Structure formats: C-alpha cells, structure tokens
Amino acid sequence: MSLLETVIFAVIKMLVIVVVMFLTVAYSVYFERKISAWAQNRMGPNRVGYRGLLQPFADVFKLLVKEDIVPDAAHKPLHTLAPFIALFVAFATYAVVPFGPSINLFGYDVKLVVADVNIGILYVLALTSLGVYGITFAGWSSGSKYSLMGGIRSSAQMISYEVSMGFSIAGVLLLSESLRPIEIVNAQYGWMWNAVLQPIGFITFVVSAFAETNRLPFDLPEAEPELVGGYHTEYSSFKFAAFFLAEYANMIIASCLIVTLYLGGWQIPYIDKLGLGETLTVILQVGAFIFKVVFMLFFFIWVRWSIPRFRYDQLMNIGWKVMFPLSLVNILWVAVLIMIFNL
Amino acid sequence: MEFYDIIFYLFALITIGSAFVVVTSRNIVYAAFSLLFTFFGVAGIYVLLGADFLAIVQIMVYVGGILILLLFGVMLTNKITSVEIRTGTVHLLPAAIGIGILFGAIISVMLWTNWNISPEPIPPSTTANIGRELITNYVLIFELLGMLLLIALIGAASIARRDKE
Amino acid sequence: MLSIPIEYYLILSAFMFIVGVTGVLIRRNAIVVFMCIELMLNAANLSLVAFSSYHGNPVGQIFVFFVMTVAAAEATVGLAIIIAIFRNKLTVNVDEINIFKW
C-alpha cells in the first residue's frame, strides 16, 4: 500500500470514528437517562421524537443556544482551553482501539483500527495522564473555591488510581508479550480471555476505570451536596457541553479498553470452527465488540444506581491500600500462571 | 528540504520558544503552561530520533507527573483569587557573564569535536531492547531506582505532612 | 533520519540547557527555579537520546529512563520542601528564605 493510500484510509477511518463517536456519546446520554429512569421506576425522556429518541439533539441544541458566562475572577484563556483539552484527550484515545480484525475491502487489506501503533497501550496511558490537565485547569482557572476543590480532588484521585490501572495492565502485557492492542486481542483466542485468566486484575482495572472516569461511586470531584458542580461549576453553554461530552466519551473509551484488554476484544470463542464466510465472520466479530462495549456501558450505569458515593478518605484508602496491593498480587498470579502452564 | 527536516525545525522551534517563555514569563501559570509545550517538543524530537518508548515515558513522567506536581505547587502556594503571580529577577549582570562563558564553551565543544557516528540506523522500535537491557545488564540500577522512588515517596510525605498538635 | 547532522540536535540541547541555567540564575521564585532545573535535565536527556540513535545503541535511552526516574523523585521531594517552606515563611522567593544568614 502506498503512502497516499495509507493516508486516505486513515482519514476515512478517522472521519467514520469521529461521526460514530459523536452519535454514540449523544446516545449514551439517552441510554443513561433511560436506564436511570428504569432503575427508579420513572418514564425517562419520552417527548422529543419517537420514545424520546431525538432527546440528545434537543439537549445539545439547548446547551448551544445558552449564554456563555465567564466569571469575573476567572483566568480567561485557561478557562476557555480546559474543556477542549478534556474533549481532545477523550477522543484521541479512540485512535488505538481495534474494533475488528483485518477486513478485505475493494481489494485492500484494511485493519479495523485508526492507528495500529506498536506501543498503543503506552499511548493510552500517556493520554490518560494528560486528562488530568483539563480538570486541573478548569478547577484553577474558574477562580471559585468549589471548582478548585473539585479540580484538586479529581487530580489526586486520577493520579492515585493510575497506579493500580498501570499495574493491572502490566498483567495483561505479561501474557500478550506485546504493547500492540491488536496482538493483545489476538492473544485472547478462544476462552483465554484475560478476565478469565486473571480475575483479580480484571476487578482492579474495572474499579480504576470507574475512578478514572469520575463515575459513581467515585464521582467525588463533582459531588453535588458538597461541591455544587465540582470543577465545572463555573461553566455554561458550549464549554459545559464539551465537559459533558468528554465525560461520556471517557466512559465509552473505558468500556472499549476493558473489552480490548480483558474481554477478548472482538473475539467470539470458536467462531472459526463454524466454517462461516470471511466477511460474515468479520461482521459478527465487530458486532460482538459492539455488544460487549454496550454491556460494559450498561454496567457503568447499573453501578451508578446501585452503590452510594464513597467518602474522600475512603476513596484514597481503597486506591492505595486495597487496589494497589491487589494489582501487585495479580502480577504475581500471572507470573505463576506463565511458569506453570508455559503460556 | 525534506519533510523530516521541516518537522525537526518545527519541534526545535516549539521547544526553544516555550523554554524561553518559561524563563522570561512573569506569571507562574504561563511558565508552567509553556513548560508543557517544551516537554511536548522534546517528546516529538524523541520520536524523530526513533525513541518512541522514551517519547511516551517523557509525556507520562514529565507532563503527567512532574508538571502536575508543579501546578499543584503553584495552586497551593498562591491565593486562588489573585491572578497576579509576579516573580522578579535578580543579579542580571553576573548571570549574563557566566552564561555567556558557559554557552561559548558548550557550543565550541559541540562544533569542533569529531563525533564518532555509526552508519547503521537503530531498529524502528526500541521498547523490547530497553526492556531486555533493564532486566539483564542494568537490573541492579533498576532495583536501586525502585528503592530511591520509595524513599522519595516516604520522604515527601513526611516533609509535607502537617504534624498534629 | 540521518539527513540532519547530529550537531543540530546537540546545539538544540545546548540552547535548552543555557535557557535553563539562565532561569536558575535570574529567577527568584523557587517553583520557577525548579522548572528551569527540569529544562536542564531535559536538555541533557535530549543529547543522550541523539547519541544513542546515531550510535545505533539503546543503552543511551536506558540512561535517559533512569534520569527521568530520578527527576520524578527529585520533583516530589522538592515540591514537598517548597510547600513546607511556604507554610512556615508564606513565601517561595529564594532570596527571602535567608534564616541561615544574619
């Protein structure tokens, strides 16, 4: 494949991903509101369009036409920049998530991933650590106590849980012997999913992912009773929408990562034994990936309505005294597995 | 001029320009913010040099760790409502003379040394090589650095802790 | 990638180093001094990586990795000290922290 063709395919894949992402984020808000309503025995949005299906567009439109208020005490350039950092980091991570195996399209062998980077997992970790910036800048630049406290809490939380997240990923890397997301998925052939082989690592990773995305029960940065709205207290209109979108985009990316690293990515166990056609197999596998991601999203929302919020000291205790040692135990467990079974 | 050269000059410009802002800016937040660009510029040059692993580590450690710490330092040591975070300069003349001499010395050494360069290019990905070296030839230093980090962690926590009266 | 002579990377690194030294010498705020020390470390790392690439030997990069680790340790302890000083003296200007002078 020549350079020009590579560039063209990359651009097409990027466009598809961005459009799909915006739609998915919009509909994950709808999804969350519907499931929340179901959990609380309510109706949920049902006025705009058939069963409220156009509600996300109405929400976005409402946010866009609102007045954009910047507080007097705010540091204007950073105040404007912060939501875009958050949004950029959330969307840039999708580049390395593989949502299917290679497919033969118009005579070309197309990989179903935007950028097949050989150190993709490190790239994800680096972007995660950048995510702290949007929140820290938002908290500091608003010039408000609530925002600052929310921002500092959130940064401390994200930095703490990055540690156990990194160590959980180390267990996956030991088994796959590669930092390339596609090879990590390929290493989980059949039922050799990492969630089955290393359940402790799976649990620590999922808990850390909840903390990293600031979702309940770890949503202390925006705990309403204490902090009003946390780091985005002073945001309105489009900038608030950007934070809102980034939060949901982060939730989806966390689901994608959990699926890629632990739930076998696009793999369906033993599908190659059924003797289906190549194209059909690929379509089924992409469908399996989407199904797994939607299930993880449902899990995120389910947990939100089942578990109360932790206190801040409890959160730090869990991060450093429970999750971190557990992720170390997981590495030891994986090492023993490799030694005994020569995986 | 090739594509590669243009990218090099771009990153070099970002690095030097933002490093200059770090030193001259009178507002600490701007200094911290331009330090972010310096780190990114250096990471870009690492990628150009084929050190992709180090580029990512640069972003994780410097941008995601050290700079965040510095920002916390800025935020916690200044009143949040005051935007005026001025810092002054001292002793310009002796500093200028010293820097001039140092600069001349470094540049002359760099230009007039005949660097011994191997003709073969490095392998495209160095991650595996670095990992192998770390747990074979350099394993002792690796372990020592782990101890150092632990000591730094405990030390920092005990210095910054407020004693209960 | 060898279209650029190694001297260019070295000169870039020298510039960064000098900017860092300048900052350490002329700034009063301890946090800015700290940032300038990071600039100097980065400059040194840059020349190490350049040498490593132009020699085709990854050991230089391992050295950079170690430098980064030490820089992280230094940043934590340094920041803790700065915060402790600020708590006692309510300033982080290095010329006002002169309790050993009389």
pLDDT tens across A74-129, in order?
778 888 888 888 888 888 888 888 887 777 666 666 777 777 777 888 888 888 88
Give the pLDDT band of residue B87 (cuts 50, 70, 90): low
Across the interface, do B80 and A75 touch by the CB < 8 Å criterion?
no
Angle at C90 between CA C85 and CA C91, to 5 degrees: 75
User: How confident is the model at residue C43, as a pLDDT?
Assistant: 93
Q: Which residue range forms the structural domain that includes residue A201?
A: 71-101+117-341
Q: What is the pLDDT of residue C42?
A: 93
> What pLDDT shows up at residue B83?
40
Q: What residue of B is the nearest CA neighbor of C43? A: B42
The two tokens of residue A45 are 């949005």
Q: Does B36 touch chain C (CB under 8 A)?
A: no
Q: Mark yes or no for CB contact B65/A143 under 8 Å.
A: no
- pLDDT of residue B27 exceeding 60: yes
Q: What is the DSSP letter of B66?
A: I
User: ipTM for the complex?
Assistant: 0.87
- Number of domains chain A contains: 1
Decide if A108 is inside a domain: no
Q: With contact defined as beta carbons under 8 Å apart, do B31 and B58 qualify?
A: no
Tens digit of each residue's pLDDT (9 = 90 or more) over B92-111 = 788 788 888 988 888 888 88
The CATH code that applies to domain C6-89 is 1.10.287.3510
Q: How confident is the model at residue B82 (pLDDT cuts 50, 70, 90)?
A: very low
Q: What count of other Cβ atoms lies within 10 Å of the Cβ of residue A153? A: 24
Q: B152 falls in which pLDDT band (50, 70, 90)?
A: very high
3-class DSSP state for residue B86?
strand
Q: Specify if A49 maps to a domain.
A: no
C89 touches chain B (CB under 8 A): no
In the structure, what pLDDT confidence band is assigned to residue A156 with cuts at 50, 70 and 90? confident
Q: Give the number of B-C residue pairs with CB atoms closer than 8 Å.
A: 225
Q: Domain map of chain C by residue range?
A: 6-89
Residue contact A130–B59, C-beta within 8 A: yes
Q: What is the pLDDT of residues A42-62, one digit of tens each?
A: 887 888 778 878 888 888 888
The ranges assigned to domains in chain B are 1-87, 124-165
Q: Is residue A62 part of a domain?
A: no
| pLDDT tens, position by position, B98-149 | 888 988 888 888 888 877 776 666 556 678 888 888 888 899 999 999 999 9
- In sequence order, what are the residues at sequence separation of 6 or more whose Cβ sits closer than 8 angstroms to the Cβ of residue A209? A165, A254, A257, A258
3-class secondary structure per residue, A90-151: HHHHHHHCCCCCCEEECCEEECCCCCCCCCHHHHHHHHHHHHHHHHHHHHHHCCCHHHHHHH
Tell me the pLDDT of chain A averaged across its residues.
83
The answer, yes or no, to whether C and A have at least 3 beta-carbon pairs within 8 Å is no
Instruction: Read off the pLDDT of residues A202-215 as tens digits, 9 standing for 90 and up.
Output: 999 999 988 888 87
What is the CATH architecture of B1-87?
A: Up-down Bundle (1.20)
Structure confidence at residue B88 as a pLDDT band (50, 70, 90): low
How confident is the model over C22-40, as a mean pLDDT?
85
Closest Cβ opposite residue B64 in set A75, A132, A143: A132
Q: What is the pLDDT of residues A158-197, one digit of tens each?
A: 888 888 888 999 888 888 888 888 888 888 887 788 888 8
More confident residue, C92 or A30: A30
Contacts of B91 (CB under 8 A, 6+ apart): C25, C26
Is B86 a residue whose pLDDT tops 70? no
**Of chain B residues 115-144, which have a CB less than 8 A from chain C?**
115-118, 120-122, 126, 129-130, 133-134, 138, 141
Closest CA to A142 of A129, A133, A151: A151
Taking an 8 Å cut-off on Cβ atoms, the answer to whether B75 and A152 are in contact is yes
- Residue A314 C-alpha, separation from nearest chain B C-alpha, in angstroms: 19
Which residue among A118, A140, A162 sits closest to B125, beta carbon to beta carbon? A118
Mean pLDDT calculated for residue range B39-48: 90
State how far residue A65 is from chain B, nearest Cα, in angstroms: 30
Best residue of B99, B159, B161, B162 to probe chain C, by most C CBs closer than 10 Å? B159
User: Residue B110 is nearest to which of C11, C42, C81, comparing CB atoms?
Assistant: C11
- Burial pattern A58-96, b for ≥16 Cβ within 10 A else e, equals ebbeebeeeeeebbeebbeebbebbbebbbbbbbebbbb
Taking contacts as CB-CB distances below 8 angstroms, the residues of chain C near B143 are: none
Per-residue confidence (pLDDT) for residue A330, from 0 to 100: 92
Query: Is residue A109 within 8 Å of A102, Cβ to Cβ?
Result: yes
| Cβ burial, residue B130 (10 Å; 0-12/13-18/19+) | buried
In a domain? residue A131: yes
Average confidence (pLDDT) over A269-296: 83
pLDDT at A332: 92
Cα B118 → chain centroid: 27
- Minimum distance, in Å, between the CA of residue C40 and any CA atom of chain B: 10
Is pLDDT at B1 greater than 60 in this prediction? no
Q: How high does pLDDT run on average in chain B?
A: 81
User: pLDDT for A303-325, tens place per residue?
Assistant: 888 888 888 888 888 888 998 99
CA distance B80 to chain A (A): 6
- What pLDDT does A47 receive? 80
A 115-154 residues with CB below 8 A of B?
A: 118-119, 122-123, 125-126, 128-130, 132-133, 136, 140, 143, 145, 148, 152
Whether B105 has its CB under 8 Å from any CB of chain C: the answer is: no
Indicate the pLDDT class of residue B77, thresholds 50, 70 and 90: low
Average pLDDT over residues C33-54: 89
C67 contacts chain B (CB < 8 A): no
| A225-272 per-position pLDDT tens digit | 666 667 777 787 788 888 888 888 888 888 988 998 888 888 888 777
Band (pLDDT 50/70/90 cuts) for residue B81 is very low
Query: In which band, very low, low, confident or very high, does the pLDDT at C6 lie, cut at 50, 70 and 90?
Result: confident
Mutation choice for A interface testing from B2, B33, B52, B56 by most A CBs within 10 A = B56
Cβ-based neighbours of B18, under 8 Å, separated by 6 or more: B34, B35, B36, B37, B38, B41
Q: Residue A328: its pLDDT value, please?
A: 92
Judge whether residue A221 has pLDDT over 70.
Answer: no
Q: Is the CB of C29 less than 8 angstroms away from the CB of B28?
A: yes
d(CA C76, CA B151): 11
Tokens at residue B149, please?
């980090």
Whether C33 contacts chain B with CB within 8 A: no
| pLDDT for B78 | 61
pLDDT at B118: 67
Interface test with chain B among A4, A80, A140, A148, by most B beta carbons within 10 Å: A140
